[in-house]
Amino acid sequence: MRFNTLAIHGKDHKRNAENALNPPIYQTSTFVFNDIDHVEAVMSFKSDDYVYTRGNNPTLRLFENRMAALEHGNGAVAFASGMAAISSVLFSFLKPGDNVIIHRTIYGSSYSVATKLLPRYNISYTSVDLSIPENFERALKESADTLKVVYFESPSNPNLSIVDIRKISEIAHENGIKVVIDNTFATPFFQQPLDAGADVVVHSATKYISGHGDVIAGVAVSKDDAYIQRLKFDYMAEFGGVLSPFNAWLLLRGLKTLGVRMRQHEKNALAAAEYLENHPAVTRVMYPGLPSFNGYETARHQMSGFGAMISFEVQGGLEAAKKVINSLKLIQIAVSLGDCESLMELPAAMTHRGYDREKLAEFGLSESMLRISVGLEDVEDIIEDLKQALEK
């Protein structure tokens, strides 16, 4: 089955007991055993029946199986948020004395986990611009014995930098290092990192997978079944960042339209990016689908579409950027992304507030960078709103 069919039906394509078109929401904390032999079979994993929703639940399992199928993995673990997925995966691979390499630009809270939380447990980090693979090789030489994980996003938040997943994975695996990638911006519709060699894909399912701005959720996917079991029972269930059955159901609903939404998001984004690139008040546009963008060639090869996140700079710096954002009429001022509504933010003041001010430039960010999540409104209306705000 192809992407959209899988997103709608899943691999199992089974009817539920009542022949309802949509799956029921198993809104239950616990499950009942038939007798003590049944207990023994389930507790020893001889049966995959259910015990307790913090370990597993049929609605969650449906969502996990669907995500595993879409990301070309063998298993997935659902989490209460993207951050629960990311922090659990990092903790699952790292122990005191280890080192993790993080890409120079990643989501603000992921950056905080790596740079503030992990060091408390004597796990160090090195921040590297992984869009140049030679930088990874160089950093590896300096910490080869202790380096255990390389973590990145591609396209990255907020400057859309592109990391060559295949190259980084090859180098990492030659050195016994695990590759973890956050695929939130691309979604499995445009990019399947496990096929390019990544070990684990994580998502903020809050974003395009939900697609409607009404869920906080996360998921991790891998081809390694044994790892997925370990992540589920030793980390998700023990840290306790479990997704609710209702949210799993909303995500299953969102997945059905992921393909059509991503196509339209991308179409709108390309038109908006081209408009911005030709606007005299705009000094720089970061969008992987523009041939002028640094990561365009790599993106073209490893993605089947460029997504719908754009960052840009306007003439006049921070004051002008504030004026643009304050002048918006249709586009909403908000963090998050991947919703039907177009959203704009100032990353340095919002999603990436945790980055040291003095280091923003070093990370390829600036206080005046604007980020837009291009929504599903009629693109003419999105562009008219950008036009009137830029004119101000």
**187 lines the binding site for ligand PLP (CB under 6 A):** no
Contact 249, 23 (CB under 8 A): yes
CB of 157 to ligand PLP, least distance (A): 4
Query: How many residues sit in the footprint of ligand PLP (CB under 6 A)?
Result: 16
**Which residue in 98, 164, 182, 385 is the catalytic one?**
182
Give the residue, chosen from 98, 182, 199, 385, that forms a contact with ligand PLP under the rule CB under 6 A: 182
Tell me the two tokens of residue 94.
């790292």
Burial environment of residue 37 by CB neighbours within 10 A (0 to 12, 13 to 18, 19 or more): exposed
**Which residue in 26, 107, 111, 208 is the catalytic one?**
107
**107 lines the binding site for ligand PLP (CB under 6 A):** yes
182 has catalytic annotation = yes
Please give the torsion angle defined by the CA atoms of residues 88, 93, 96 and 100, in that order, rounded to the nearest 10 degrees.
-100
CB of 107 to ligand PLP, least distance (A): 4
Burial environment of residue 331 by CB neighbours within 10 A (0 to 12, 13 to 18, 19 or more): buried
Residues 39-78, one symbol each (x = binds ligand PLP by CB under 6 A, - = not), give: ----------------------------------------
Q: How far apart are CA 142 and CA 126, in angstroms?
A: 10
Q: Which of 191, 302, 203 is nearest to 251 (CA)?
A: 203
**345 lines the binding site for ligand PLP (CB under 6 A):** no
Q: How far apart are CA 349 and CA 338, in angstroms?
A: 20
What one-letter code names the amino acid at 194? L
Judged by beta carbon, residue 92 or residue 279, the one nearer ligand PLP is: 92
Give the residue, chosen from 56, 184, 247, 268, that forms a contact with ligand PLP under the rule CB under 6 A: 184
Residue range at the interface with ligand PLP (CB under 6 A); choices 105-113, 304-312, 353-361, 378-386: 105-113
Residues forming a β-bridge with 23: none
**105 lines the binding site for ligand PLP (CB under 6 A):** no
**127 lines the binding site for ligand PLP (CB under 6 A):** no
**89 lines the binding site for ligand PLP (CB under 6 A):** no
Give the residue, chosen from 10, 58, 75, 82, that forms a contact with ligand PLP under the rule CB under 6 A: 82
Contact 90, 114 (CB under 8 A): yes
107 has catalytic annotation = yes
Contact 203, 334 (CB under 8 A): no
Q: Which of 206, 226, 225, 209 is nearest to 217 (CA)?
A: 206
Residue closest to ligand PLP when measured from CB atoms: 82
Judged by beta carbon, residue 216 or residue 231, the one nearer ligand PLP is: 216
Residue range at the interface with ligand PLP (CB under 6 A); choices 47-55, 102-110, 191-199, 324-332: 102-110
**83 lines the binding site for ligand PLP (CB under 6 A):** yes
First to last CA, the chain: 50
Judged by beta carbon, residue 153 or residue 339, the one nearer ligand PLP is: 153
CB of 187 to ligand PLP, least distance (A): 11
Phi-psi region of 323 (alpha: psi -120 to 50; beta: other; left: phi over 0): alpha
Q: How far apart are CA 366 and CA 249, in angstroms?
A: 39
Residues of the shown chain interacting with ligand PLP in the complex, contacts defined by CB under 6 A: 81-83, 107, 109-110, 153, 157, 182, 184, 204, 206, 216, 218, 336, 351
Q: Which residues does the annotation mark as catalytic?
A: 54, 107, 182, 207
